Amino acid sequence: MNLPPKLNKSALWQKLTWVIDPVKYLETAARQCPDLYAADIIGFGGKFIIVNHPEAIQEILTSNRQKLFASSQDNALLKPLVGDRSVILLEGDPHRKRRKLLLPPFHGERMETYSQSIVELTNDVFGKLNPGEEFTARDLAQSISLQTILRVVYGLADSNRYQQLRGLISEMTEVFRSPLTSAFLFFPWLQQDWGAWSPWGNFVRVREAVDKIIYAEIAERRETNNLDGEDILSMLMSARDETGQPMSDGELRDELMSLMFAGHETTATAIAWALYWVHHLPKVKAKLLDEIASLGESPDLMTISQVPYLDAVCKETLRICPVAMLTFPRVVKQSMQLLDYDLEPGSVLMGNIYSVHQREDIYPQAKQFKPERFLERQFTSGEFVPFGGGARRCIGEALAKFELKLVVATVVANHQLSLASNRPERPRRRGVTLSPANGVKMMYRGKRTSRAIAKSNVAV
């Protein structure tokens, strides 16, 4: 049999490097095995196969589940964050049915209802800075994305619960901000509650406080039958499955936590990376300003989200600095071949988002930020994979891309910023994602004299 090659690195090196420095791991592995390889990393052993080849990735993402099954067992490390009833951890028909319930709020006309909140929050957060003040772009981006989620998903705005959740969720996410603390997710034996003073003990208590607020909100809405809002929680509470059954309180809680962590953390990271590249390359910022200015004063927000160069800048941000490193795992159900390699049942396949985005044969000068590449050609679903694909494609993709575009456009058009340091920003593990190692240190220079993006012409 022609089995996938193995890396010439020890199991210990692979496991530790994957947790501590995943970029080093993926780049070292791609140099040895450009197309695919058997990896020996935490939780998977030698049956875990990472795939870097675009055509093979496309095949993985589009194959039917009789051939490749999207198993949630290999994502069990997320259970402490999202619970075991989340769509992320469901399989088969239960996953398909839950996904069907969750998709509608993230598409079509719903985007218009969210646009005004995103722009207002962005101007409010950046407008509080003083000229000459230094700040961390990722912190401000997280403030915007978290408040967006609280309004859009939870339907909360400036209430006591809103303020409580805002503080608690921020505290929860900070637990996993570094590779060292991210190890709690990869090594379950570290998940020991030794009291509120211990890292995991503190996490457990904060999570319990968040749960208490979420369940109180759900209970209040059920008692008052207040389910007419435009927020996603109202829609989920009103939704019924194919048998006419509503979601339970526990299912609602787990989906809200999934949307919270998968939504605001990842979007905040993408926004921070985009602000870094736009201000690292003056020509990119100048082109963005010209494009936005061409739309006239107070342009329609939906129009802004569709202009080509802004779209290219955001896509290039997600290419060169993808937040997620790997696609959802697929388990081989029957013997098959992939790129002439023989795969045995039980093997676990993952598309390598980071490495396929760095392939020189697809993206020449891959380490350079070049938005024009997305204006010059279309990339296949195996070549550009920031949100995964197939039945496990990110549910919040439309909202994430929409928010990324509006925040970047609003900041560039309305606020003058500069990088606080000339040192290159590098990606580093943050939980199960990649984030700017230093958070992108910037300086606020002041508001622009002509505010191009402040109000929407869209009825909201």
Q: What is the pLDDT of residues 295-332, one digit of tens each?
A: 887 788 888 888 999 999 999 999 999 999 999 889 99
What are 338's two structure tokens?
């992939």
Residues 408 and 311 in one domain: yes
Residues 126 and 245 in one domain: yes
Question: Which secondary structure element, helix H or strand E, spans residue 51, and what is its range?
Answer: strand 45-51
Residue 454 lies in a domain: no
Residues 228 and 331 in one domain: no
Residues 75 and 96 in one domain: no
Burial 85-101 (b: 16+ CB within 10 A, else e): bbbbbbeeeebeebeeb
Residues 213 and 232 in one domain: yes
Residue 380 domain boundaries: 83-322+357-447
Residue 458 lies in a domain: no
68-69 and 134-136 beta bridge pairing: unpaired
Residues 119 and 23 in one domain: no
Residue whose C-alpha is closest to residue 46's, from 252, 343, 270, 256: 343
Residues 202 and 274 in one domain: yes
| CATH code: domain of residue 241 | 1.10.630.10
Residue 279 lies in a domain: yes
Residues 142 and 56 in one domain: no
User: What mean pLDDT is reported for the chain?
Assistant: 88
pLDDT of residue 74: 62
Q: What is the mean pLDDT of residues 436-440?
A: 95
The CA–CA distances, whole Å, from 45 to 11, 42, 48, 50, 189 equal: 9, 7, 6, 12, 18
45-51 and 348-351 beta bridge pairing: parallel
Count of domains for the chain: 2
pLDDT of residue 75: 67
Residues 127 and 187 in one domain: yes
Of 187-201, 234-248, 355-369, 446-460, which gets the smallest average pLDDT?
A: 446-460
Residue 457 lies in a domain: no
Residues 50 and 177 in one domain: no
Residue 9 lies in a domain: yes
Residue 262 lies in a domain: yes
pLDDT tens-place string over residues 344-366: 998 999 999 999 999 999 999 99
Q: What is the mean pLDDT of residues 119-128?
A: 94
Question: Quick one: pLDDT band at residue 193, thresholds 50, 70, 90?
Answer: confident
Q: Does position 459 have pLDDT exceeding 60, yes or no?
A: no
Model pTM?
Answer: 0.91
Residue 141 lies in a domain: yes
| CATH code: domain of residue 335 | 3.30.43.20
Residues 99 and 202 in one domain: yes
Residues 237 and 346 in one domain: no
pLDDT tens-place string over residues 63-111: 877 788 877 766 677 788 888 888 887 878 888 888 877 776 666 667 7
